[in-house]
Amino acid sequence: MQSADKPITLQIANRKYARKKIVAIEAAALVFAEKGFHGATTQDIASEMGIQQGSLYYYFKSKEQALQEVCEYGFENYVERMQKIGSKEQPFEAKMLAIVTSHLSNYRSKNNAMKVHNDQRLYLPVERRALIKKLGSEYRELLEGVLKEGIDEGVLRPDIDTHFIAYSIIGICNSWGGNLVRDDALDLFETIEQCSDLILYGTLIPTKRNKHEK
Amino acid sequence: MQSADKPITLQIANRKYARKKIVAIEAAALVFAEKGFHGATTQDIASEMGIQQGSLYYYFKSKEQALQEVCEYGFENYVERMQKIGSKEQPFEAKMLAIVTSHLSNYRSKNNAMKVHNDQRLYLPVERRALIKKLGSEYRELLEGVLKEGIDEGVLRPDIDTHFIAYSIIGICNSWGGNLVRDDALDLFETIEQCSDLILYGTLIPTKRNKHEK
Amino acid sequence: MQSADKPITLQIANRKYARKKIVAIEAAALVFAEKGFHGATTQDIASEMGIQQGSLYYYFKSKEQALQEVCEYGFENYVERMQKIGSKEQPFEAKMLAIVTSHLSNYRSKNNAMKVHNDQRLYLPVERRALIKKLGSEYRELLEGVLKEGIDEGVLRPDIDTHFIAYSIIGICNSWGGNLVRDDALDLFETIEQCSDLILYGTLIPTKRNKHEK
Amino acid sequence: MQSADKPITLQIANRKYARKKIVAIEAAALVFAEKGFHGATTQDIASEMGIQQGSLYYYFKSKEQALQEVCEYGFENYVERMQKIGSKEQPFEAKMLAIVTSHLSNYRSKNNAMKVHNDQRLYLPVERRALIKKLGSEYRELLEGVLKEGIDEGVLRPDIDTHFIAYSIIGICNSWGGNLVRDDALDLFETIEQCSDLILYGTLIPTKRNKHEK
DNA sequence: AATGAATGAGCATTCATTCAT
DNA sequence: CATGAATGAATGCTCATTCAT
């Protein structure tokens, strides 16, 4: 399954490099998540990888570049997953559960990178944020699309502001995502269920809702 | 109403100092909010105040001390207000509106300090966080108390986890608070209304809620 | 004789700073002259001044800035002196002597700065070289002007290329200037005399010059 | 004409190595000429050669070694050519033209190496400069010899200081050599003519020279 | 009450050099 | 012959902090 245009040794070298680059990104993610971008040192990252400080520059051109790559890594596959969720035929409640699951489970697999993306991406100069911004917008727009569909299907209240709700969903998820990263004991599935429950049903007892209806 | 044990000139001096100290805290809050604790320099804060870098140490013993004071300043009166809200006799919906209002309007008045409290307080060494932690816990516990009352009164669904919901409310509010600080054009009252609406009623159309009930 | 618009203490502070800045420039000049711009370290310069490395940045914003200031310092008064020489009424031979004297004696007073200007200025990015370039051009043009006058007055051979000769004079002077800096024992006045003698009369015996005339 | 004690394949390998070594020296010369010894990196040289940084050490034991070899390469054949010029029977004027031609034309063929020799050789530790120094002294002494002969033959003014004039000739040539390297448009032969003209005849009109004679 | 000056430790980054493959 | 990978020391620069005035 090797492409014919490159010698095998080079492919191996590339693969080796690529593997270690992932290690580098994850080390950077861990350190940035714990200490913040400016509070972290390249020495911290290098130590985390078990290499010398200077050697880090074989993998990142600069500390800023490292932050950028961590943020992008944290968002990888994110949009795709939202696309899949949106395109499937299933009741709205199931979609919402899938959305929250996708968002929160990411915190457990690429936990640090996501946290870094949320908390530290603004320390990047705008030039470096182009891709990250694009992905974030796409994500939110897809989410808004799901919500609009929900309204069209007569499942969601037509008076909600999809833009506002989309932001709020992301806000709740990020808020709990932070807790998930900080606290290993927190149960992922319980958290997912409670989040989607809150988003769907709010806190009031249904029968009391008559008050709300005009 | 001046205390008799200090000469008037000193009192005036103190008053002047106190006034400028507030300026210092707000300058620090602004800078920390924009650049993060580690990304900000004492020079930045001094410039913001229009004084020399060295003179800053007349107001703060250290940069860390400044962060601590900003965080505490950001939380001032917070707990008190929650206490008042909890003790008043009023329908749950009104209480929730009051809670969200208290939380979010703070972002517009002490905006930067609150943002700093949320985003940067973890960069303080634990020993400096004692007061801040205590205030935060009290706040959350009061909020949980309000929720429990709601359940006892038969207004809130008894199956909700008050701990989880309290955290979520704070999460949504902080998330939107960040937007309020970042985006001056965002309408405060509309945001407040939509937040409490989401928390109370969720997103589904009431009649569809039958699905949820067993 | 103090200007009325600034408090005396500030004037003193400025004067103190200005004095130490000269010390800084001369220290930098010495170090750059000895080791070259890239071979010199900011530690070297600080040591030469008897201060800590970090303190150097109180006087120079960057190492490059230091080089720029050294180069400009090395050329200070240079153009003015050439202007004076050109405007005086005196035989051409005397003017040439004055020119060489001006150029070479500078190597003994601001010796290192001049050497640095000649050898290292090209390591400055073009933006930083604007003033230095302008001064250099003015200097050469003034020199060419003197040569043209010499031709007009019938003293200089009309077949010489004033542009070429100006460059050559500067070349000879810089070449000997380098020796003057390197070798303290070298006699300044003898060097001056021999330089202007060579420029004026060449090396051939006059009577042999008939060969040259057509 | 192959020496019998080495297998042909090795000789071919050596020849190949020698050819590439020249390439290496010229790459180093170019880079050193442009950026200075300390301003140049081994990466720069390797890039210039189209090889990897680490591979450079196959051709040079160290960066310093590279500088040494560039300087020596720049001076190769130099002394020999001066010897030839000195030993030929020809009028002094012709000799001077030959000397300047030899010196300046070298700047166009081995241009960078010569420039490096002139500007950067002092960054070599003394022990590495032995050969270079010896060659330089020989060169200057040969030149002085030619000048002395000129005096003995009654062509040169007996009052000139041959040591001073030799240095001056080298100074003028190096000064113009730098220009030749920097400015490709500069005409080599014109420059040569004007240089030797200046050295021989100075700038004054012959008839005016009476003033000079006592 | 404020400042100019200095400090010294820390940090990101560069780079000559080495070496197993 | 050549390279990828790594090293470790050095270096320019920043910055919190101090202190005499």
Please state, in angstroms and rounded to a whole number, the distance separating the CA atoms of residues C95 and C92: 5
Q: Considering only CA atoms, which residue is closest to the C1' of nucleotide F21? A: C9
Helices (H), ranges, A78-214: 78-87, 92-109, 111-120, 130-152, 162-182, 188-201
Residues of chain A neighbouring B194 (CB-CB closer than 8 A): 161, 164, 168
Residues of C (56-75) placing their beta carbon closer than 7 angstroms to any atom of strand E are 58
Torsion of CA A56, A58, A60, A61, to 10 degrees: 120
Please state, in angstroms and rounded to a whole number, the distance separating the CA atoms of residues C105 and C180: 9
Coil, strand or helix at D204: strand
The residue of chain C nearest to residue D156, with distances taken between CA atoms, is C204
Please state, in angstroms and rounded to a whole number, the distance separating the CA atoms of residues A121 and A113: 10
> Given a contact as 3+ CB pairs under 8 Å, which chains touch C?
D
Residue C208 has pLDDT above 70, yes or no: no
Subunit contact A205:B155, Cβ cutoff 8 A: yes
Encode pLDDT of D101-124 as tens digits. 999 998 888 778 988 998 999 999
- Please, what is the average pLDDT of chain C? 88
In chain C, what are the helix, strand and coil shares in percent, each to the nearest 5? 75, 0, 20
Subunit contact C165:D93, Cβ cutoff 8 A: no
Give the per-residue pLDDT at D12: 63
Subunit contact D157:C37, Cβ cutoff 8 A: no
Structure tokens, A214: 């005009």
Please state, in angstroms and rounded to a whole number, the distance separating the CA atoms of residues D45 and D32: 9
Structure tokens, A89: 């035929």
Give the per-residue pLDDT at D205: 72
Subunit contact A168:B164, Cβ cutoff 8 A: no
Select from A196, A213, A210, A176 the least CA-distant residue to A99: A196
Residues of chain A neighbouring B154 (CB-CB closer than 8 A): 205
Q: Considering only CA atoms, which residue is closest to the C1' of nucleotide F19? A: B54
Give the per-residue pLDDT at D68: 95
Looking at chain D, the whole-number percentage of residues with pLDDT higher than 90 is 63
A to C contact (≥3 Cβ pairs closer than 8 Å): no
Give the per-residue pLDDT at C210: 45
The residue of chain A nearest to residue B147, with distances taken between CA atoms, is A203
Looking at chain A, the whole-number percentage of residues with pLDDT higher than 90 is 69
Tell me which residues of chain D, numbers 97 to 126, contact chain C at a CB-CB cutoff of 8 Å.
119, 123
Residues of chain A neighbouring B202 (CB-CB closer than 8 A): 198-203
Subunit contact B168:A161, Cβ cutoff 8 A: no
Highest mean pLDDT among A79-83, C9-13, D35-39: D35-39
Structure tokens, B42: 């004492």
User: Stretch D63-81: mean pLDDT, rounded?
Assistant: 90
Do the Cβ atoms of D155 and C205 come closer than 8 Å? yes
Query: How high is the mean pLDDT in each 10-residue block of chain A (214 residues)?
Result: 48 78 95 95 96 95 96 89 91 93 88 91 94 93 93 90 94 92 91 93 64 42
Please state, in angstroms and rounded to a whole number, the distance separating the CA atoms of residues B87 and B123: 34
Tell me which residues of chain C, numbers 36 to 65, contact chain D at a CB-CB cutoff of 8 Å.
36-39
Give the per-residue pLDDT at C3: 44
Residue D70 has pLDDT above 50, yes or no: yes
Cα end-to-end distance, chain C, whole Å:
65
C214 and chain D in contact, CB less than 8 A: no
Please state, in angstroms and rounded to a whole number, the distance separating the CA atoms of residues C16 and C10: 10
Give the per-residue pLDDT at B173: 94
Each residue's pLDDT, cut to its tens digit, for chain B (214 residues) gives 444 455 565 666 677 888 889 999 999 999 999 999 999 999 999 999 999 999 999 999 999 999 999 999 988 888 889 999 989 989 999 999 999 999 999 888 878 898 899 899 999 999 999 999 999 999 999 999 999 999 998 899 899 999 999 999 999 999 999 898 888 899 999 999 999 999 998 877 765 444 444 3
User: Stretch C8-32: mean pLDDT, rounded?
Assistant: 84
Select from D83, D82, D68 the least CA-distant residue to D28: D68
Question: Hey, of C198, C200, C209, C212, which one would you mutate to test binding to chain D, going by the most D CBs within 10 A of its CB?
Answer: C198
Encode pLDDT of C36-81 as tens digits. 999 999 999 999 999 999 999 999 999 999 999 999 998 888 888 9
- Measured CA distances, D152 to B194, C128, D155, D156 (Å): 107, 52, 8, 8
Do the Cβ atoms of A201 and B204 come closer than 8 Å? yes
Looking at chain A, the whole-number percentage of residues with pLDDT higher than 70 is 90
> Given a contact as 3+ CB pairs under 8 Å, which chains touch A?
B
Give the per-residue pLDDT at A9: 54
> Which nt is closest to the CA of C59, judged by C1'?
E5
CA C57 – C1' E4 distance (Å)? 14
Give the per-residue pLDDT at B59: 94
C211 pLDDT tier (thresholds 50, 70, 90): very low
User: Which positions in strand F are less than 7 Å from the protein's CB atoms?
Assistant: 1-20
Please state, in angstroms and rounded to a whole number, the distance separating the CA atoms of residues D139 and D170: 10
Q: Any idea what the Cα angle at residue D150 is, between residues D148 and D153, rounded to 5°?
A: 110
Q: Which residues contact A105 (CB under 8 A, 6 or more apart)?
A: A188, A192
Encode pLDDT of A36-75 as tens digits. 999 999 999 999 999 999 999 999 999 999 999 999 998 8
Tokens 């290499």 locate to A51
Comparing C139 with C181, which gets the higher pLDDT? C139
> Given a contact as 3+ CB pairs under 8 Å, which chains touch B?
A
Return the biggest CA–CA distance within chain D.
Answer: 73
Subunit contact B209:A209, Cβ cutoff 8 A: yes
CB environment B152-161: b (16+ within 10 A), e (fewer): eeebbbeebb
Architecture of the domain made up of A8-63: Orthogonal Bundle (1.10)
Å between D99 CA and nearest CA of chain C: 15
What's the predicted TM-score (pTM) here? 0.85
Coil, strand or helix at B51: coil
Tell me which residues of chain B, numbers 186 to 205, contact chain A at a CB-CB cutoff of 8 Å.
191, 194-195, 197-205
Encode pLDDT of C107-157 as tens digits. 888 789 999 999 999 999 999 999 999 999 999 999 999 999 999 988 898
The domain spans of chain A are 8-63, 72-213
Structure tokens, C11: 């004037």
C154 torsion bin: left (phi>0), alpha (psi -120 to 50), beta (else): left
Q: Where are the beta strands (DSSP E) in chain B?
A: none
Fold of C72-213: Tetracycline Repressor; domain 2 (1.10.357)
Å between B9 CA and nearest CA of chain A: 43
CA B53 – C1' E3 distance (Å)? 9
